Structure 1
Amino acid sequence: MTDRPNIILLSVDALRADHLGAHGYERETSPFLDELADRELEFTTAISTSSHTREAVPALLSGRYPDVFAANGYRYVPKTVADRLSEAGFRTAGFHSNPYVSRAYGYDSGFDTFDDDLVLGRNKLVALAQRALNKFVLNRGEYHARAAEINDRSLSWLDGLSDEGPFFLWNHYMDPHGPYNPPAGLTYADRELSNDEAQTLYQKTIDRPDEITDEERQSLIDAYDGEIRYLDDQLRAFFDALDDRGLLEESLIIVTADHGDAFGEHGYYTHPRYIHESLLHVPLIVSLPGERRSDTVTTPVSTLDIVPTMLEYAGESGRELPRGPLVDRDGELVQNEEVVFASATGEDEHEGIRRFAARGERWKAVLEREIDSGEIVSEAVYDLAGDPTETEVLSVEDAESGTLVQQLKDFSASRLDSVDTTTREGNTEEQSTEVDERLEALGYK
């Protein structure tokens, strides 16, 4: 292994783990990811820190709990891994098309090159205007840059680098995110939806989820699975391109998702601010530099472990972060605390509530606290061994899960008491609120 390998983070928006073959899904949606999971390090119980992009991605890039960002109106909070690695001498680049983590919110900090598909400027409202222009006026027919385009842009950047020093590359793929409209020939449905039909149906899942019919639900799942299959093909192409350039052996590569997606299992669709497994359980595969290391880890890990892992391989300290790396520089697994935590701030009538979850290997405890008073307003336990879809609520008095319940109470109380309100200059809550309204009007949840 080189002294400091290249570091590549490939994250996918709204990709739930149980729609992949490696996690037992009946459809062949992910042949490449299944192969990758078999030959590399796979963490089968990876839990996102939150259920939606605005909290999950900044936590994924910073290694810090998402309440930090929720408390600031979802503003960028330094330092991300890009800031740290840039200071350590890495060439840095990011490629994606998600306006919530664009330069309009300051996420270009630390990146030498940052391509967020927003060409009209840094201002939030201008960025949103471009999304509307692309969608309704220019009729691009898609709501984000496809994975093939993200691959082409990032590979062009790689080809333009000199051979001096390591690089950090972040690709964030939007394809599984709604509206679900896979390229022609890749849907699992009997009939492909037009772009307008996909948008209309997706909007219905947000506005009137209780009116979604069984046929419409199946159509949503069919199209979502087609998006995954397309993405899987593009991830294979990207790995092949890295191999052709001799970069696989010289790079730490991490593949994961920011959160999952729901299809009516608990009465809602897309990824609102709940903390069920369909939203929190994500894939996580780590390809180590040098000699291949294959292993399957079933104990719970957190997406917060990803930044410490990248810092470990960069030779940088992440001791101030709440969790540690998944593996050390020798490729040996690191034993972190086996209970992981997730949370999400409620919205609309629940905006004064923060939801917390503690995930063990078998048990899962959840509770809601009022943000202002800290009062617990609800709590429950699930036995995921016998009830993986969380349909049977168990009493928190259950003796077997008692330790986990207490850990969650302690954790949630400490997070409400210790949120860091560091913000960046130039961000205002008024701007953030207006952007929220416009994004929701565009069907972006």
Structure 2
Amino acid sequence: MNVLYITVDALRADHVTSEIMPKTHGFVDKNMEYTRCYANGPGTPWSFPTLLGSRYSGGTDGFGIPGEDDVRPTLAETLQEEGYATAGFTDNRFASSDYNYDRGMDSMWDSGATSSEKRLKHEVRGRLDQDGLLFKAILRGYHLIDDLLLNIRGDDTRFVRAEVLVDQVTEWIEDRENDWFAWVHPMDTHAPYEAPDEYQRQYLEEPVSRRKSQKLASAATHRPDDLSDKDWQLQKQLYKAECQYLDDQLERLFTSLPDSVRDETVIVVTADHGEMHGEHGLGGHPQQFWEEVIHVPCGISIPGRSNETIDDQIGLVDIPPTILDSVGIEFPRTGTATVSFQMMTA
């Protein structure tokens, strides 16, 4: 039995609807839908120890997970030990090999996430006083710096688009002959929202420039009081455009699997956290446990299992043991399962 594990960045549960994301909504609705799935923390660094390691982030020092000497195996390591081919596809630095998330991966496509440019940005952010005048001045002009770097590299967007990741993962899957585990983490619904023009036109009269979307995203996260009601409405529409673009790419991924492969594949769709667009006067995903930030979608397709709507509350930490149970592998007892694991798989 194969495993396709899709963890979207910053996708709110309330946007996986028949109006905004009809294909993804259809997938979730036709399979095992968990209506009250919650992230175990308000951001990527807190969610990925749970998503790939089924451990709480508070159980490790700093961001990420320990290296290979760690006695608790990751999801990928457990599957690899059982003979699975394994691969990861991400452009999020906090979910990359820089933080040991390549453990158990035969292949890891994260070169953009671990680039020297992103490492430098992270180093600068870590060294400066974030309440200081210099840091605040850099933030106000950050969209200009980012735009310049993208022009130099010849890139259209800050993050690799889902289209690219889908191409990579489908090509990798096509070359597999035995059981495989593929994890893919699209970044499109993470700010700044830079959906292709044809998607923006579905929500706006005219697409906004890359620079404007970057400036708006920076202000929403760091200076939300500066945004007007019109600004927040624009941010919301740009986010919906990204959701719709991502929806088409996820459908392309689903339909790339032949029926014979689909019938032998567990598919999981969830997110690491949500995003705020002016609710409570905040934007982005502040380190606070608001519903908009921690309520995430979760749908699981298990061959041979009928569709079911489950309203009991679960956490992202429950997903790795559920995946293993679905393919008949015992969850390592050195890991961290929760009580709802039994509820999910019973």
TM-score bracket, shorter-length normalisation: 0.7 to 0.9
In structure 1, what residue type is equivalent to 2:17? G
Structure 1 residues 127 and 110: alpha-carbon distance in aligned structure 2, compared to 1, 3 A threshold: farther
Structure 1 residues 273 and 120: alpha-carbon distance in aligned structure 2, compared to 1, 3 A threshold: closer
- 2:237 counterpart (205, 211, 222): 222
What secondary structure, in the 3-state scheme, does the structure 2 residue paired with 1:125 have? helix
Deviation track 1:37-59 (CA, whole Å, cap 9, x = no partner) reads: 22111011111111101111222
Deviation at 1:191, TM superposition (A): 2.5
Native 8 Å contact 2:92 2:113 kept in 1: no
Distance 2:287 2:97 in 1: 24
In structure 1, what residue type is equivalent to 2:181? F
- Which residue does the alignment assign to 1:297? 310
- 2:283 counterpart (269, 279, 284): 269
- Which residue does the alignment assign to 2:11? 15
1:146 to 2:137 alignment: no
In structure 2, what residue type is equivalent to 1:74? F
1:63 to 2:54 alignment: yes
Structure 1 residues 135 and 20: alpha-carbon distance in aligned structure 2, compared to 1, 3 A threshold: same
- 2:207 counterpart (187, 192, 195): 192
Deviation track 1:121-150 (CA, whole Å, cap 9, x = no partner) reads: 689736969x96852522412011111111
- 1:91 counterpart (82, 85, 91): 85
Distance 2:284 2:314 in 1: 24
Deviation at 1:314, TM superposition (A): 4.3
In structure 2, what residue type is equivalent to 1:44? T
In structure 2, what residue type is equivalent to 1:114? M
- Which residue does the alignment assign to 2:126? none
Native 8 Å contact 1:262 1:278 kept in 2: yes
Deviation at 1:67, TM superposition (A): 1.4
Deviation at 1:20, TM superposition (A): 2.1
- Which residue does the alignment assign to 2:255? 240
Distance 1:93 1:31 in 2: 28
1:317 to 2:317 alignment: no
What secondary structure, in the 3-state scheme, does the structure 2 residue paired with 1:247 have? helix
Native 8 Å contact 1:103 1:122 kept in 2: no
Name which one, 1 or 2, has greater alpha-carbon Rg: 1
Distance 2:298 2:81 in 1: 27
Structure 1 residues 53 and 292: alpha-carbon distance in aligned structure 2, compared to 1, 3 A threshold: same
Distance 2:157 2:117 in 1: 22
- Which residue does the alignment assign to 1:36? 27
Structure 1 residues 122 and 242: alpha-carbon distance in aligned structure 2, compared to 1, 3 A threshold: farther
- Which residue does the alignment assign to 1:256? 270
What secondary structure, in the 3-state scheme, does the structure 2 residue paired with 1:296 have? strand
Deviation at 1:304, TM superposition (A): 0.9
| Identical positions, percent | 32
Structure 1 regions of 5+ residues with no counterpart? 23-27, 336-445
- Which residue does the alignment assign to 2:174? 159
Deviation at 1:293, TM superposition (A): 1.2
Taking structure 2 as the reference length, the TM-score comes to 0.84
Structure 1 residues 326 and 293: alpha-carbon distance in aligned structure 2, compared to 1, 3 A threshold: farther
Distance 1:127 1:88 in 2: 38
Structure 1 residues 10 and 324: alpha-carbon distance in aligned structure 2, compared to 1, 3 A threshold: farther
In structure 1, what residue type is equivalent to 2:102? D
Structure 1 residues 182 and 250: alpha-carbon distance in aligned structure 2, compared to 1, 3 A threshold: same
Deviation track 1:261-293 (CA, whole Å, cap 9, x = no partner) reads: 01121221000110011011100000002x351
Deviation track 1:362-398 (CA, whole Å, cap 9, x = no partner) reads: xxxxxxxxxxxxxxxxxxxxxxxxxxxxxxxxxxxxx
In structure 2, what residue type is equivalent to 1:19? H
In structure 2, what residue type is equivalent to 1:13? D
Distance 2:246 2:310 in 1: 24
- 1:74 counterpart (36, 45, 63): 63
Native 8 Å contact 1:318 1:324 kept in 2: no
Deviation track 1:395-422 (CA, whole Å, cap 9, x = no partner) reads: xxxxxxxxxxxxxxxxxxxxxxxxxxxx
- Which residue does the alignment assign to 1:422? none
What secondary structure, in the 3-state scheme, does the structure 2 residue paired with 1:255 have? strand
Taking structure 1 as the reference length, the TM-score comes to 0.66
1:321-360 aligned within 5 A: 321-323=336-338, 326=341, 333-334=344-345
What secondary structure, in the 3-state scheme, does the structure 1 residue paired with 2:267 have? strand
What secondary structure, in the 3-state scheme, does the structure 2 residue paired with 1:93 have? strand
In structure 2, what residue type is equivalent to 1:249? D
Structure 1 residues 302 and 120: alpha-carbon distance in aligned structure 2, compared to 1, 3 A threshold: closer
Native 8 Å contact 1:104 1:122 kept in 2: no
Q: Which one has a larger percent helix, Structure 1 or Structure 2?
A: 2
Structure 1 residues 83 and 134: alpha-carbon distance in aligned structure 2, compared to 1, 3 A threshold: farther
Distance 2:275 2:261 in 1: 32
- 1:176 counterpart (182, 185, 189): 189
Distance 2:168 2:315 in 1: 29
> Which ranges of 4 or more aligned residues in structure 1 deviate by more than 6 Å?
119-124, 126-129
- Which residue does the alignment assign to 2:296? 282
Deviation track 1:200-245 (CA, whole Å, cap 9, x = no partner) reads: 111111231111100000000000011000111111111100135x
- Which residue does the alignment assign to 2:137? none
Distance 1:249 1:166 in 2: 13
What secondary structure, in the 3-state scheme, does the structure 1 residue paired with 2:262 have? coil
Query: How many residues were matched structurally?
Result: 315
